[in-house]
């Protein structure tokens, strides 16, 4: 679903339809088109900027659309194997261990997960 500067809420999809392997989406942060990942966790939906904290590469750069490891427990970067917890975005293994994926703000409206563009925090983060 396209986003405009005049529409700070970008509705992604219903909570019950978040796929177990994650949902990729694009969004606009200021003048920049970015990529995000929406995942379901035990604590609810979480969205992360699709950019590794080791190098500024998409997590699925070497395998488009693949975000999780084989046992579906962690988000993994296909470049060098950084492994992130999907609930808090913390890297628990790999070259950027201890760093954290950039969180994207979400709101839920009538059961639909929406990106809250008014609270993205700016594209320089």
Query: Minimum distance between the CB of residue 87 and ligand FES, rounded to whole angstroms?
Result: 19
CA 95, CA 16: separation in Å to the nearest integer?
A: 34
Among 13, 35, 80, 112, indicate the residue that binds ligand FES (CB under 6 A). 80
Tell me, residue by residue from 35 to 64, as one string, x for binding to ligand FES by CB under 6 A and - for no binding.
-----------------x-xx-x-------
Residue that the structure tokens 């080791």 belong to: 54
And the tokens for 32?
């920049």
Q: Is 79 in the site for ligand FES (CB under 6 A)?
A: yes
Q: How many CB atoms are located within 10 Å of the residue 56 CB?
A: 7
Burial of 57 (0-12, 13-18, 19+ CB in 10 A): middle
Q: Which is nearer to ligand FES, 82 or 114 (CB)?
A: 82
CB of 9 to ligand FES, least distance (A): 30
Task: Kindly write down the DSSP assignment for every residue of 22-47, as one continuous string.
Answer: -EEEEEEETTEEEEEEEEEETTEEEE
* Chain centroid offset of residue 88 CA: 11
Residue 106: CB minimum distance to ligand FES, A = 23
Q: Interacting stretch for ligand FES, rule CB under 6 A, among 1-9, 28-36, 72-80, 97-105?
A: 72-80
Task: Say how many residues touch ligand FES, by CB under 6 A.
Answer: 11
Q: Which residues bind ligand FES (CB under 6 A)?
A: 52, 54-55, 57, 77, 79-82, 94-95
């Amino acid at each position: 679903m396209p986003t405009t500067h005049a529409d700070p809420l970008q509705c992604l999809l219903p909570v019950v339809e978040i796929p177990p392997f994650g949902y990729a989406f694009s969004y606009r942060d200021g003048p920049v088109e970015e990529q995000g990942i929406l995942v379901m966790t035990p604590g609810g939906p979480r969205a992360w900027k699709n950019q590794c904290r080791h190098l500024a590469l998409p997590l699925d750069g070497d395998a488009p659309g693949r975000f999780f490891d084989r046992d579906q427990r962690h988000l993994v970067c296909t470049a060098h194997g950084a492994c992130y917890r999907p609930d808090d975005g913390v890297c628990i293994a790999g070259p950027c261990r201890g760093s954290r994926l950039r969180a994207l703000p979400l709101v839920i409206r009538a059961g639909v997960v929406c990106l809250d563009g008014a609270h993205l925090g700016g594209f320089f983060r």
